[in-house]
Structure 1
């Protein structure tokens, strides 16, 4: 080995330090595991801390999730927040709160749980993982979003409620030329388990990028479900071919609702340029078409692998994006017709409470439900070598994941998380989470000061964008938004000058 290292030309370290250089390589390979299990403390691990992972695992397995001896968090830091409780708590909080999704244009409204499984595709996940998640959805009475990979037989085996997500690749309703096939969509959307459909515009992990399932994971089975060639990279385009303007988007949503027999239809996106949510609501006002819901995905979200720059630096974080979309809907007087959901690193009752107080009607979680069915955050999802079989297509690795066992754990995690939310809501003096308001959340802005959330973010009153948009902080963006184009009406610098 030493002679080989000395004369090889591909690796500098082993060429200069034969044999010893392999010790560095071994340490490099083991570094993520040593750090996760030995080095990092309970609160600092990423993307999910040990405390977060342990909480999900404990609730899923039905063991104690209580914590002794007080908080380990530094309550003086600027990222600390808390719920303001009441001297007069509620004795009978709702432990299974639900939200009716559907407006006057919907024939088949749906009663959604306040916590559901966010979009994860078959292909990105294994068949056994999809089976387990859907069984959990059935047992726990919450919905399971298919992700953009299409509606597979594994989503339908256990009878759980389904939200069918349709991305720019139109997988499962895809014509040979890659465009939307309305007949395929109509036939599959009519299935009893499909309760709602959803148009994916972008996702938090890689907004504006589309999606990529590597060739190694595109088996013949997955290719047949998606309607693409097997054993080749499966790429979702960056944008949709079925529409190119806000008005065309609303018309496409209405078409999907009609094809599905009047089931609710929604939009999912990670918020980017601030004028675009206002363009969407202007299109709703101009066309009279109301999508039933909008899911805001935070820039910190994402189960799928993505380019590091997109994961780290592109896309609005959930809190800011959620508030902006909430203000666009409320300010335009549409919030009562268009429900709003939040998706992005939700795993606890506090996460649910925070999002709902900021305007969400319900929340979706992806990685938390992956953890509930056995994921250990090995971060090998994109390599096909997931040690727990959650994201691997290899039968040998999938064998470790028993859907009947892990499905019950997903349902148990859901139930216990809602119980934790009920404790928070009851402590604040309410029966239902939707009674939470921004001022019930306090956020520390420095070691010496904390503010209620409505003094940190602006929350618009109903209809103000229609009556007095120039009186809001969004005057520039509202003026720039167009119903007939996603591009701003004019250069924003000139818009600001004209408004002021």
Structure 2
């Protein structure tokens, strides 16, 4: 063997050894990262997809750079854009929620709302803390609701066990209520000690008898929990107005089947409407019955399409007496929600909240019932400006589902109906659920709620009022097709109260002074 050949072989051996060492170090690094990722519970994606899940964070950060040159900006994603999701993420983590270099929002797009700041804004020391608002003045057990921002109806079944636990604990920490959704009251809703709104869907899950009819005994059993403050009769929901709830069979576990009173593994399909309710009078009868059995406030949730039934309801309430009406109406938006739904219903049926909310508020005002019936707005309202708009338009409260899902770690993977949610929020796969630590996520739920409320109050102070509920339509301008804005109180002027109802309206306690 020549010296030259020996030298070449020695170099190759060294290179081979170095390559093997590098491969070994790389594999060791991957093992270490795997152990770190699968052991932590703050990031569900990294926990459920060790090592590989790290690329999501890397690509998200790189995306900000690449979008400047090649791709869409933050405001162009659907159904929630990156700017909105990033705001929720920062709020949930309790991080500073300021941005640099100006707004990325196109303020000349028709429909954009702009708050009218005051020349002499409210000083911090002059501001008044959020005040409780009473719901159900004619009930034996009215509810003094402490917070104007709350968790919308999302069923246990649609959401995972750790997700519901986190929402329950987080809602208690934030001082807001948690709506059960139509899937019934589970032990996980009660676990955190928060206030609860029990939703009754068309299938009566959780309060049904063996034949699927409303059971007074089950109603009393649920109402016996001090935490259950109100009952919500769901007439329709944003994801699928005109169709009942849909829970795929793969998500109907033994626990869910027991809570709902249905067979294990079979798809849970609710009727299109309550079989007992064929008219507005039937609806009021049902509300009065539930209230008489439970002693607690009862309201309805509906997507608004035709509004004739609302006017019929108002006339009927005046015939029967003020105590007969719903204690609240939850106005849902027709552009979808977290639930599984046929695309035609999600895309093209029902008014969006921007049109439905002023319509409902004005009808109640016209019939002198605005101070009798509280209004809850629901539907894609996840940021402070959207919540402040809803309050200014006529809502007493705002519910959010997907906003709180983002605070739990949802990454908008669009797999809510497939039992493969990568963050553990909407899956019953035990492996995927492990990435969602209820204790950690409860803090983020509470942070999100508290920070949103604080920033809504900041908007109200900028407009010169002492607290958020004093915002009105005069404080908002809406951008029109011309690119110029007009005052919302001119775009949606309050109607006059009908003369025959003025005396009764004046006798009612004002909402907020």
1:47 corresponds, among 79, 86, 106, to 79
5 Å-filtered alignment, 1:204-353, equals: 204-260=238-294, 262-288=295-321, 289-353=324-388
Q: Is the 8 A contact 2:246 2:268 kept in 1?
A: yes
Q: What are the Cα deviations for residues 65-123 of structure 1, in whole angstroms up to 9, with x where unaligned?
A: 10111112222222322100111211233454432212234533332410000000000
CA distance in 2, matches of 1:203, 1:143: 19
How many residues matched?
A: 434
Give distance in 1, aligned partners of 2:139 and 2:299: 13
Name the Cα RMSD after superposition.
1.8
User: Which residue in the other structure is 1:77 paired with?
Assistant: 109
Cα pair 1:99 1:362 within 8 Å, conserved: no
Give 1:225 deviation, angstroms.
0.3
Are the counterparts in 1 of residues 240 and 336 from structure 2 also a CA contact under 8 Å? no
Q: Output the CA distance in 1 between the equivalents of 2:460 and 2:336.
A: 25
Partner residue in 2 for 1:410: 445
Q: CA deviation at 1:159?
A: 0.6
Alignment of 1:128-277 (within 5 A): 128-260=162-294, 262-277=295-310
Post-superposition, which runs of at least 4 consecutive aligned residues in structure 1 deviate over 6 A?
none
Provide the secondary structure at the position in 1 that maps to 2:480: strand
Equivalent position of 2:30 in the other structure: none
TM-score, with structure 2 as normaliser: 0.82
Query: By how many angstroms is 1:242 displaced?
Result: 3.0
Q: Structure 1 residues 309 and 464, CA, compared in 2 at 3 Å: closer, same or farther?
A: farther
Equivalent residue, structure 2, for 1:99: 133
TM-score of the two chains, using structure 1 as the length reference: 0.84
Extract unaligned runs of 5+ from structure 2.
1-55, 503-513
* Cα distance in 2 for residues equivalent to 1:353 and 1:104: 29
Question: What secondary structure is seen at the aligned counterpart in 1 of 2:74?
Answer: coil
Q: Which moved more, 1:455-464 or 1:355-364?
A: 455-464
Does the CA-based 8 Å contact 2:130-2:146 persist in structure 1? no
Give the structure 2 partner of residue 478 of structure 1. Answer: none
Range with bigger deviation, 123-132 or 430-439: 430-439
Deviation track 1:116-137 (CA, whole Å, cap 9, x = no partner) reads 0000000000010000001111
Rg larger for: 2
Structure 1 unmatched runs, 5+: 1-29, 468-500
1:368 to 395, 403, 408: 403
> How far does residue 335 in structure 1 lie from its aligned partner after superposition?
1.0
The aligned runs of 1:386-401 (5 Å cut-off) are 386-401=421-436
* Alpha-carbon distance in structure 2 between the residues aligned to 1:151 and 1:197: 11
Return 130-139 or 62-71, whichever deviates more. Answer: 62-71
1:185-242: CA deviations, max 9, x gaps?
Answer: 1111120110111100000110001111111111111010000111111111001023
Q: Distance in 1 between matches of 2:482 and 2:280?
A: 44
Aligned counterparts of 2:263 and 2:316: Cα–Cα separation in 1: 37
Three-state SS of the structure 2 residue aligned to 1:355 is: helix
Instruction: Give the secondary structure class of the aligned counterpart of 2:272.
Output: coil
C-alpha distance in structure 2 between counterparts of 1:156 and 1:40, whole Å = 43
Change (3 A) 1:462 1:400: same
